[in-house]
Amino acid sequence: MIDDLDEVLRRLLTHELSIQNGEIDITFDQPKREWSARLSRPTINLFLNTLHENKKLRQTQPMWEIERNDNGTVTQRRKSIRVDLNYIITAWATEPEDEHRLLSRVLIAFYRHPHLPADLLTESLQNQPVPIPIMVAQEEEQRNPADFWGSIDNEWRLALACVITLAIDPYQVMTTPVVRTREVRIGQSPQPPLRQLAASNEPDRFWTIGGTIRSDKPFETMRLTLLERGLDIPLQPEGRFAVGNLGPGSYTLEVSVEGHQPRRYGITVPAADYDLEV
């Protein structure tokens, strides 16, 4: 759910700031000195600094909601927990004027939208019980900025505090993979100055990928194969799968269903998504 919120914030800023052709990067990294030294273009960074329950919105009685259905049945649901996600928003550019201009546009964008726009929400955020509120530049959220910048060994800079409150149902079933891609490097790690001088010292890199097959057909009748290796990939009951020890490059996944022609899907490793529609 947190990664979905990141994606919605990226969509919102991309739309409101009219970002085109990647002219401005939107990232969610910890703004450490090593990270900021590698930036090559203007960047807006939203770092998720803290996450905690909003006790003011805690609902104690009753704990359950009762919904009466048209067919005479009753649906009982446990009330959601409201959680505050606190982002520290910074702008990074060559000139201070450009940074201030970027932050001003971010501030205006959030003031224009006191709630996350419904048309930008991902599927997992569309069933929130109330519109998702945004609070930005609230004084009580600006806590010890000097301690924050000192802890990440970077220079103190202007930042916006942004708080977004989500409702989380701990009993909701999540079907997405916990981790989509995992990278493993094998070999001696070269010193940074030597990376360009000795390409042969680059360690071998392997990935474990994971995805989900979405289909109205029963998964027990399916067979998933990595064709390049002739490897049968086990499917979980809900359609999830994972395969490891893959080097970078292109691969082909084949899905076979009883009574149907096999379908092939080209994938690239690494990539952001490996979900398949069957």
Q: Give the tens place of pLDDT for each residue, 114-146.
A: 999 999 998 888 888 889 999 998 876 556 777
Domain range for 221 is 181-277
Q: Is residue 233 part of a domain?
A: yes
Per-residue pLDDT at 259: 83
Per-residue pLDDT at 142: 58
Per-residue pLDDT at 98: 92
Looking at the fold, whether 96 and 229 belong to one and the same domain comes out as no
Per-residue pLDDT at 150: 79
Looking at the fold, whether 216 and 158 belong to one and the same domain comes out as no
Q: Which of 146, 168, 190 is the last residue of a domain?
A: 168
Looking at the fold, whether 140 and 217 belong to one and the same domain comes out as no
Looking at the fold, whether 164 and 198 belong to one and the same domain comes out as no
Per-residue pLDDT at 194: 37
Q: Which residue positions in the chain have pLDDT lower than 50?
A: 190-203
Q: Residue 49: in which H helix or E strand, if any?
A: strand 43-53
What's the chain's average pLDDT? 82
Q: Is residue 190 part of a domain?
A: yes
Residue 44 · residue 106 · CB < 8 Å: yes
Per-residue pLDDT at 262: 92
Residue 210: give its domain's CATH number: 2.60.40
What span, in angstroms and rounded, lies between the C-alpha atoms of 38 and 3?
23
Per-residue pLDDT at 188: 57
Q: Which of 143, 168, 193 is the last residue of a domain?
A: 168
Number of domain units in the chain: 2
Q: Is residue 175 part of a domain?
A: no
Q: Is residue 86 part of a domain?
A: yes
Looking at the fold, whether 260 and 190 belong to one and the same domain comes out as yes
pTM of the model: 0.58
What span, in angstroms and rounded, lies between the C-alpha atoms of 210 and 180?
5
Looking at the fold, whether 203 and 114 belong to one and the same domain comes out as no
The length of the chain is 278
Looking at the fold, whether 140 and 213 belong to one and the same domain comes out as no
Q: Is residue 176 part of a domain?
A: no
Looking at the fold, whether 126 and 232 belong to one and the same domain comes out as no
Half-sphere exposure in the Cβ direction for 251 (13 Å, CA): 24
| 39: its two tokens | 């930036």
Per-residue pLDDT at 64: 61
Looking at the fold, whether 212 and 123 belong to one and the same domain comes out as no
Q: Which of 138, 168, 198 is the last residue of a domain?
A: 168
Residue 164: give its domain's CATH number: 3.30.2000
Looking at the fold, whether 42 and 112 belong to one and the same domain comes out as yes
Looking at the fold, whether 210 and 162 belong to one and the same domain comes out as no
Q: Is residue 265 part of a domain?
A: yes
Looking at the fold, whether 142 and 262 belong to one and the same domain comes out as no
Per-residue pLDDT at 44: 94
Per-residue pLDDT at 254: 94
Per-residue pLDDT at 76: 65
Packed helices 2-16 and 96-112: angle between N→C axes, nearest 10 degrees: 110
Which of 52, 22, 47, 23 lies closest to 36 in space, CA to CA?
Answer: 47
Which of 101, 84, 102 lies closest to 141 in space, CA to CA?
Answer: 84
